[in-house]
Amino acid sequence: MKITCTQENLKRGLNSVSHIASKNTSLPILSNVLIKADKGSVSLTTTNLEIGIRCLVRAKIYKDGSFTVNSKLLTDFINLLPNEKIDLELKDDMLEVWTENQETKMKGDSAEDFPLIPQVVKKSAYTCRVEDLLKAFTQVLFAVSVSETRPEISGVYFNFSENNLTIAATDSYRLAEKKIRLSENVKEEKEVIIPARTIQELFRILSSYSGSAIGEEEPVSLDKIDIYFEENQVLFVFNNIELVSRIIEGQYPNYKQIIPTTHKTKAIVNIAEFVKAAKTASLFSRTGIYDVNLELKDGKITVFSTNSQMGESKSKVNGKIEGDNNKVVINYRYLLDGLQNTDSTDVIFEMIDAANPCVLRPAESLDEKKEAIAAEDYLYIIMPIKQ
């Protein structure tokens, strides 16, 4: 194998794939990146046996071949090189890397020992805008369960129907749901659960290609992403990258049945003021319970908490309150997560009573009567703390 490419291209490719390569005592080669020059293209591949990432890198190929070297070592080394031409050549089971003023040799392992990456046929793609998908991940991913005791909620729910993709996550104490438009109506409706680690990795790479996470490089224009399925695998394809992952088996909870269809109290509140009041009250919440009290009455939301060892705090936030006077106790961390990921200036807060879920929706616009209209593409639900 002998190739030449720019430091910028190799750096971007390695930064995209190297994150999932990790130390594995039973299979050390999983810490390596597979470099393959074949049929006029150079690919970089890593896997942790759950996720596989392949990135094509523009390069000049003098001799086909393949080899694996430690991913972190190669990535750190390439990142330190100046932005100039880099030559890589395989000689006597060593990868030689040299530039104008640098010569380095790296030990590695045969490509034959590298695990095979599952192949997903690129047929019947579900396509959406990268910008929409990134926003959806930001508004949903934080609600995924971190416990493995219920595998079905340790992943992110994807539902493809008509011309929409609905993405949802829950840890059974709160739930976030976001709807985005697909480029065209789906040919086949589909429901799947994708591991949270896969979505986190996809989010990291997509964000980096938008110029927010990989070093100083200029952002690369990413418009759309194609999603393919085959048996128990999902494949995401964008730009020059392919990410393949297993799908979690099982049935996602029918969360629609817990979403309240009515409310007794509705409040329209400025998010920034609500966040400040919640953070203030949180300083006096009980350790491990994270409780704050909300009271909706007389055109205000009162946010307060009491701690027998530290004292108490009470903040009032002006808003528009409709319906009955009401109060509820909720986890302030869950409340802040919902408020800070609601993409609007004001939030619509709805509740029935202290025993039923509270619903947050973005206040998207005002109608002719200056009434707030809830955005239909996002909702967030918090279960109350029962006294």
The CATH topology of domain 126-255 is DNA Polymerase III; Chain A, domain 2 (3.10.150)
Give the pLDDT of residue 366: 54
Task: List, in sequence order, every residue forming a beta bridge with 350; answer none if it has no partner.
Answer: 266, 359
**Residue found by looking up tokens 């990790």 in the block:** 22
Token pair listed for 324: 């009955």
Please tell me the distance from the alpha carbon of residue 319 to that of residue 298, in angstroms, as a whole number.
Answer: 9
Contacts of 21 (CB under 8 A, 6+ apart): 30, 31, 32, 33, 46, 47, 48, 71, 72
Tell me the pTM. 0.91
Q: What is the C-alpha to C-alpha distance for residues 209 and 203, in angstroms, rounded to an integer?
A: 10
Domain boundaries along the sequence of the chain:
2-113, 126-255, 259-382
Q: Rounded to an integer, what distance in angstroms lies between the CA atom of residue 124 and that of residue 73?
A: 38
Structure confidence at residue 364 (pLDDT):
73
CA atoms within 13 A on the CB side of 56: 12
Q: Which structure tokens are listed for 306?
A: 């009491």
Q: Which two tokens stand for residue 380?
A: 């967030």
For 263-321, give the DSSP string.
Answer: -SEEEEEEHHHHHHHHHHHHTTSPTTT-EEEEEEETTEEEEEEEETTTEEEEEEEEEEE
63, 125, 122, 141: which is closest to 96 by C-alpha?
63
- Quick check: 45 and 54 in contact, CB under 8 A? yes
* Per-residue pLDDT, 23: 82
- The three-state secondary structure class of 189 is coil
Topology of the domain comprising 2-113: DNA Polymerase III; Chain A, domain 2 (3.10.150)
359 forms beta bridges with: 350, 381
Domain pair 126-255 / 259-382, same fold: yes
In order along its 387 residues, the chain shows pLDDT tens digits of 999 999 999 999 999 999 999 888 789 999 999 999 998 899 999 999 999 999 999 999 999 999 999 999 999 999 999 999 999 999 999 999 999 999 999 999 999 999 999 999 999 999 999 999 999 999 999 999 998 889 999 999 999 999 999 999 999 999 999 999 999 998 899 999 999 999 999 999 999 876 544 444 555 567 899 999 998 999 999 999 999 999 999 999 999 999 999 999 999 999 999 999 999 999 999 989 999 999 999 999 999 999 989 999 999 999 999 999 999 999 999 999 999 999 999 999 999 999 999 999 999 755 545 566 767 899 999 999 987
Interstrand relation of 265-270 and 241-246 (parallel, antiparallel or unpaired): unpaired
Distance between CA atoms of 209 and 206, rounded to whole angstroms? 5
| Predicted local distance difference test score (pLDDT) of residue 32 | 97
- Domain 259-382 indexed as CATH 3.40.50.300: no
